[in-house]
Structure 1
């Protein structure tokens, strides 16, 4: 019998991408497709690729409580309330927002709010062990399998952490700079002046510096204290795709071979992460529609700096794909079920 899933926030890009991925999933039945403001609207009115007779459901906590699992694809405000309520009811949850990714202190620092459920702030050492951060490749796989609430990582942190995590022991603290670029779908489906076609087309701009909220998530989940990082995101004129380029100064004795070995060892058995040969760089288009991540690193002996480039689909490994990967683990399924690391190309 298939596992019954509820999706809340299905009218957003992340929720719709999850619906697309689940259309071919052999072990999950989407029982509820909830969207507060779009309840009663045919799904295909917003997403013509999801043709059919299905309409968006209202958000009904009692109905969600009857599901085997729920994915929340809402902003962090609604997710705080829904995630806590479902956790208390014992319903496994994967949350795509930032509601549960940080510590209590980190949430207050980066979101300017007191966390209403400190026990569910996955980045806090005092949090309930059933509330976990969901980046399987960074050693959280077993924790996700045993979890009740999974804080799905952000898109920028996913790409950045996958690139940097294996190298933190090789880098000088305080030397890391991250330059990242994302397609416009990363800003969500809501109409915004800055996302009009006429404004985005042919344009490239930075935003959020020097204190973008994802900075705190990256610093929290790097596996060692590397000091403060400098993180600057950019909006690029494409629908989807994300490229993060990170720079760091290496400690004495580190060379190109040590850097290559660290990445190869970390990801040798990971189904969704591909390490490219030095001098070969990832392409965002190669990951479109997939849950894959491509990495490469080059070392400059003149400056003693390493450049690590990481590409993902911001709606795939950066959101819905990773949510499905975590959902598979929660439900006791093979984590690759319904997913691929191979993108659409050209």
Structure 2
């Protein structure tokens, strides 16, 4: 038996993707999958693609069930993790895919999420400078938000290098419908989504404070767009250069230096744009840089799978570090096509 893990919220899209990745992990063994309203049902009733879990049934979401595992993944709605964590043994390793413990600023939590701020855990983005070692030394890690990964990987190295201003960053990002969760909603019906694009949470998206916290951006405008696809995020991140005459080669050099040797963040060759389809089923982020010939703004485009590097894949990557395992274990940098 390897390291035992439990997945809370395994009936959702992110939870199901976690189960899929864990099924192929060489060192982790799932001993419990909880789905409160589906307790007692076979996992394959909701996730028929997960045939290797034919004997596993959903358990009730309780601390007693989860505490039996060496590591717990929480794939619960925002605001639901804190109460459950309070009942777990303090030494139990936990990766929370929700937002409860991402923000250091209680006022920012109140402004964007509402309710009491539960506290702050280690932020789970290994590609940030110095963060990999911090994650490896932590028992509690707050997984990144999906949009946040796409923007932070594009923006953080440029601000850190002083290449772009931290003020007036503009982001437009499109996401597939799985990012909204599995609950039935009229706006997510196939007939509503097909052949349609629509913006939502304009001017008040909850990932903005998380992105600012991780990148050092001081003001950021973000417009999320719901796209007619099941999974994937394509983000465009535009920032003012710190000095006039900035060349795209300088931007690419900073990104290349930041991610050289990283297994999951890839700066594409010049002239090739990121595609969401190219990241499907992977734990990868694809990046490309440009300098706008009219405004002079730096533009970095990024693509990822919101259920992969934006959620479940990122969580497994963090868990690998926390457990002293190969960081890439159970994960693929390669997407699925067509």
C-alpha distance in structure 2 between counterparts of 1:110 and 1:102, whole Å: 11
SS for the counterpart of 1:233 is: strand
Residue of structure 1 aligned with 2:251, choices 259, 263, 281: 259
Partner SS, residue 185 of structure 1: helix
Equivalent runs, 1:110-259 vs 2, <5 Å: 110-115=112-117, 117=118, 120-121=119-120, 131-139=121-129, 140-168=131-159, 169-222=162-215, 224=216, 226-252=217-243, 254-259=246-251
Provide the C-alpha distance between the structure 2 equivalents of 1:54 and 1:21, rounded to a whole number of angstroms.
16
Q: Which residue of structure 2 aligns with residue 92 of structure 1? A: 93
In structure 2, what is the equivalent of residue 75 of structure 1? 77
CA shift for structure 1 position 74: 0.3
Whole-Å separation in 2 of the counterparts to 1:217 and 1:192: 26
Q: Structure 2: how far apart are the matches of 1:62 and 1:47?
A: 24
CA distance in 2, matches of 1:204, 1:92: 40
Shift of 1:175: 2.5
Q: Which residue in the other structure is 1:128 paired with?
A: none
Q: CA shift at 1:63, angstroms?
A: 3.0
The offset of 1:294, in angstroms, is: 0.4
User: 1:301 Cα shift?
Assistant: 4.5
Shift of 1:109: 1.7
Distance in 2 (alpha carbons) for counterparts of 1:65 and 1:89:
10
Query: 2:25 maps to which residue?
Result: 25
Q: Is the 2:79–2:99 Cα contact (8 Å) retained in structure 1?
A: no
Q: 5+ unaligned residues in a row in structure 2: which ranges? A: none
Question: Considering only aligned residues, what root-mean-square deviation do their CA atoms show, in Å?
Answer: 1.2
Q: Which residue of 2 is the match for residue 268 of structure 1?
A: 260
- Between Structure 1 and Structure 2, how many residues are aligned? 331
Name stretches of at least 5 consecutive residues in structure 1 with no aligned partner.
122-130
Query: 2-side partners of 1:11 and 1:301: how far apart?
Result: 47
TM-score, scaled to structure 1: 0.93
- TM-score, with length taken from structure 2: 0.95
Check whether the contact 1:243–1:311 (CA below 8 A) recurs between aligned residues: yes
Q: Is the 8 A contact 1:70 1:94 kept in 2?
A: yes
1:221, distance to aligned residue in structure 2 (A): 1.1
- Counterpart check, 1:294 vs 2:282: no
Structure 1, residues 175-234: CA drift from partner, whole Å, max 9, x if none? 310000000000000000100111001110000010111111111111x3x321000100
1:34 aligns with 2:34: yes
Counterpart CA distance in 1 for 2:188 and 2:180 is 8
Distance, in Å, in 2 between the alignment partners of 1:327 and 1:279 is: 35
Aligned-residue offset at 1:32:
0.7
Q: Is the 8 A contact 1:65 1:89 kept in 2?
A: no
Runs of 4+ that moved beyond 4 A: none
1:345 corresponds in structure 2 to 337
Q: Secondary structure at the match of 2:26?
A: coil
- The worse-fitting range, judged by mean Cα deviation, of 318-327 and 99-108 is 99-108
Q: Which residue of 2 aligns with 1:124?
A: none
